[in-house]
C-alpha cells in the first residue's frame, strides 16, 4: 500500500496502510511514519504506527524520534517517547530530559515517565525516583496512577524517594505517596483508597478528615 494512504480521510484505510508499511519494513518509510505519528488522531492507528516503526532498524528510527522530542507539538513528543520506550535503546536515556519528565502536557509527561523507567541506567534509578516523586499529587486519577506505576517499576529505590511526599503539607501529595507505597509493597492493594482519602481531606479539611478516619 502507498505510504501516502497514511493520511487518508478514513481511519480504517490509515490503519491498513500502517500495517502494510510495517510489514514491508522499508527504512525509506521512516519519515512518513514519524510524521504521521505526530498528528494521527486515532489511537489504534497510532499504535500501528508505533509497531511499524519498531520493525525498522533502530539506527534509522531512533535519530528521527529524538528530533521529535523537541517538537512544539505535544503529540509528536508523546508518540516519540512511546515509540522509544518500545524500541528500548538505552543510549537514548540522556534525551529523556527533566523538561520532558515535567512537561506541562500530561500525556507527554506520562509517556516520558514510562519511557524513563524502561531506559534508565542502573546507576540513575534513585535520581529518577526522586524526580518522579517530586510530582506526587499531580493531575487526575489517570495521571496519578501512571506516576505511581512508573515509581513502582523502579523497585525498592522508591522507598526513600517517597518519604518527602509522605510528610508533605499537601494532603493530596501525602495520599498519593501512601497509595504508591501500598502498590510497591502489595501490587494488589487498592490505588483508589489513597485518592479518595485525599478528596475527603480537601473537602472536610485536615482536622475533620482526621476525625472521620478514626
Q: At what angle do helices 125-133 and 141-153 cross, to 10 degrees?
A: 160
C-alpha distances in Å from residue 151, one per residue of 110, 118, 128: 12, 11, 9
Per-residue pLDDT at 4 = 84
CATH code of domain 1-119: 1.25.10.10
CA of residue 205 relative to chain centroid, distance = 32
Query: DSSP code of 113?
Result: H
Per-residue pLDDT at 54 = 97
Per-residue pLDDT at 200 = 57
Closest-CA residue to 192 (of 179, 205, 208): 179
Distance, in Å, from the CA atom of 78 to the CA atom of 146, rounded to the nearest integer, reads 14
Calculated CA dihedral for residues 72, 78, 83, 87, nearest 10 degrees: 90
Q: What are phi and psi of 23, to 5 degrees?
A: -65, -40
Per-residue pLDDT at 190 = 62
pLDDT in tens, the chain (214 residues): 677 899 999 999 999 999 999 999 999 999 999 999 999 999 999 999 999 999 999 999 999 999 999 999 999 999 999 999 999 999 999 999 999 999 999 999 999 999 999 999 999 999 999 999 999 999 999 999 999 999 999 999 999 999 999 999 999 999 999 999 999 988 776 665 455 554 555 554 544 444 434 3
Per-residue pLDDT at 210 = 43
Q: At what angle do helices 192-204 and 171-185 cross, to 10 degrees?
A: 160
Closest-CA residue to 198 (of 174, 168, 166, 169): 174
Domain with CATH 1.25.10.10 in the chain: 1-119
Amino acid at each position: 500500500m502507498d505510504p501516502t494512504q497514511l493520511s487518508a480521510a478514513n481511519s480504517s484505510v490509515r490503519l491498513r496502510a500502517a500495517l502494510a508499511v510495517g510489514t514491508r519494513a522499508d527504512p525509506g518509510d521512516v519519515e512518513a511514519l514519524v510524521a504521521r505519528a505526530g498528528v494521527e488522531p486515532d489511537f489504534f492507528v497510532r499504535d500501528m504506527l508505533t509497531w511499524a516503526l519498531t520493525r525498522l532498524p533502530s539506527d534509522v528510527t531512533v535519530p528521527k524520534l529524538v528530533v521529535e522530542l523537541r517538537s512544539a507539538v505535544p503529540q509528536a513528543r508523546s508518540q516519540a517517547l512511546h515509540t522509544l520506550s518500545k524500541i528500548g535503546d538505552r543510549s537514548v536515556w540522556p534525551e529523556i530530559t527533566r523538561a520532558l519528565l515535567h512537561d506541562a502536557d500530561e500525556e507527554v509527561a506520562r509517556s516520558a515517565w514510562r519511557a524513563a523507567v524502561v531506559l534508565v541506567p542502573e546507576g540513575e534509578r534513585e535520581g529518577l525516583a526522586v524526580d518522579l516523586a517530586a510530582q506526587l499529587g499531580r493531575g487526575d486519577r489517570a495521571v496519578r496512577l501512571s506516576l505511581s506505576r512508573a515509581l513502582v517499576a523502579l523497585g525498592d529505590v522508591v522507598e526513600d524517594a517517597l518519604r518527602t511526599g509522605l510528610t508533605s503539607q499537601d494532603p493530596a501529595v501525602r495520599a498519593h505517596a501512601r497509595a504508591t507505597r501500598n502498590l510497591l509493597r502489595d501490587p494488589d492493594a487498592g490505588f483508589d483508597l489513597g485518592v479518595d482519602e485525599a478528596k475527603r481531606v480537601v473537602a472536610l479539611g485536615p482536622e475533620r478528615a482526621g476525625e472521620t478516619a478514626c
